[in-house]
Amino acid sequence: MKGELKEWQEKLLGVMKGRRNRQLLYYLELCTRCGLCKDACHIYRATGRVEFVPSHRAEILRRLYRRYFSPLGRLIPSLYEARELDERALEDLYEAAYTCTGCRRCMVYCPFGIDITWLLGVEKAMLVAAGKVPEELAMLTDAAIEKGNSIDLYRDLLQEQIKGLEPELRERTGMPGASIPIGRKGARVLYVALAGAHSILPAAIIFNLAGEDWTLSMFESSNYGYFLGDTEKAARVAERIVSEAKALGVEEVVITECGHAYRVMKHLDEVWSKQKFPFRVSSIFEPFARYLKEGRIKVDPDRIAERVTYHDPCQLGRNGGIFEEPRAIIRAIARDFREMNPNREKNWCCGGGGGLVAQPDLEEFRAVTGRLKAEQIAATGAKIVATPCENCRLQLDLLNQRYHLGIQVSAVTDLLVQAAVVEKGQKKAAALG
């Protein structure tokens, strides 16, 4: 049978074979098609399309596996629901793998804990080998790797940008010596922001007010290689930060408000790169909640008068384990805080994860599949939705327009800065933006 296969088929089946382990067999064999995952998925709930039933997304992989790796499926494919690896199968794999937001809500509701996104990771690895991947995700991943290769070209640009931010930082903190150090050796904390001032200045205000010994990373935290499903490239993108942290000798790498970036650095990259980091990885909320608790920053809870709700980004909450620290901050700075229902590990995905917001042709799909999130927000009556993930914020902005929610979508750090009290001279750190 092997002799009948074309070279590209051999290559893709080689990828599947390389991923064959107990976890793969367990997931493929154990699914009883009970359908409990179907109602847990916002995409299926909004569209009713069978292709978007979580277990169905993995069904193509299961059938390919039977066709090429199970003795009975190889012998009598038609009897064992086995499927040929052809162009059509590749199309179906593409739709299954790259329209899932990776929220893993289906896993929470599956009686066997089957992680559909793990199976989709195998599908993505095959698609990567076939060169059949979303163009935008591939371009963004390659650009990040290229930046790591030519960092000297970017250093001057970043320094210029930071110089332009420091007068505002001093103004907002009332501290003439406030600064944004870049790549400072011996700093305790390395802060990894997103591209752009919006995630640098607010964090710099808090770090300076708290008297933290910190420095800013040369690199942005986002990692599109993760969404692409190319773990080799994703590890190369992450390695830029790991090498920088090691060279500076920091104790803690603090990841900005970005769900997938936190998950990659905290839970995935040590496995991908087969190393143990000599530093701790934290979400930005861990030090910030600690500063509040220790009284290193003071806040005025009366500055934010409107009702606030909080959207748990799937990669930070359900998949990253950070639930309480951002809530502790919001409770300290807003008197009227209302939880969404459900929340924490059962929170509905906003529909923007998995790299979907980076793909313009999926905008309508995202608007439709975000319906449950829009309803959840409307039910809180909140005027401000705080969420610590750029992808979520872009998606919630889209839902705000589409469903006429009349909300302000905000980063948690922006709200913290709005509420922060500058003690010397009691100068208010006014709202950003």
Smallest distance, Å, CB 36 to ligand SF4?
4
Using CA atoms, how far residue 163 sits from 179, 189, 206, in Å, is: 9, 20, 18
Q: Which contiguous run of DSSP H or E holds residue 376?
A: helix 371-380
Contact indicator for 248, 185 with CB cutoff of 8 Å: yes
Please name the residues in contact with 272: beta carbons below 8 A apart, sequence gap of 6 or more. Answer: 231, 234, 235, 238
Distance CA 155, CA 132 (A): 34
Smallest distance, Å, CB 40 to ligand SF4?
6
Smallest distance, Å, CB 133 to ligand SF4?
17
Smallest distance, Å, CB 33 to ligand SF4?
5
Smallest distance, Å, CB 270 to ligand SF4?
23
Nearest CB to ligand SF4, comparing residues 54 and 317: 54
Smallest distance, Å, CB 99 to ligand SF4?
8
User: Other CB atoms closer than 10 Å to residue 274's CB: what's the count?
Assistant: 8
Distance CA 328, CA 342 (A): 18
Strand pairing partners for 310?
Answer: 386
Contact indicator for 385, 407 with CB cutoff of 8 Å: yes
Residues binding ligand SF4 (CB under 6 A)? 31-37, 40-41, 43, 54-55, 57, 100-106, 110, 112, 114, 116-117, 349
Structure tokens at 13: 């089946």
Nearest CB to ligand SF4, comparing residues 240 and 366: 366
Smallest distance, Å, CB 58 to ligand SF4?
7
Nearest CB to ligand SF4, comparing residues 123 and 212: 123
Nearest CB to ligand SF4, comparing residues 29 and 302: 29
Nearest CB to ligand SF4, comparing residues 308 and 399: 399
Smallest distance, Å, CB 271 to ligand SF4?
19
Kindly calculate the radius of gyration of the chain based on its CA atoms and give it in whole angstroms: 23
Distance CA 420, CA 411 (A): 14
Nearest CB to ligand SF4, comparing residues 356 and 407: 356
Nearest CB to ligand SF4, comparing residues 57 and 366: 57
50-89 per-residue burial string, b: 16 or more CB within 10 A, e: under 16: eebbbbbbbbbbbbbbbbbbbeebeeebeebebbebeeeb
Please name the residues in contact with 431: beta carbons below 8 A apart, sequence gap of 6 or more. Answer: 414, 417, 418
Nearest CB to ligand SF4, comparing residues 62 and 240: 62
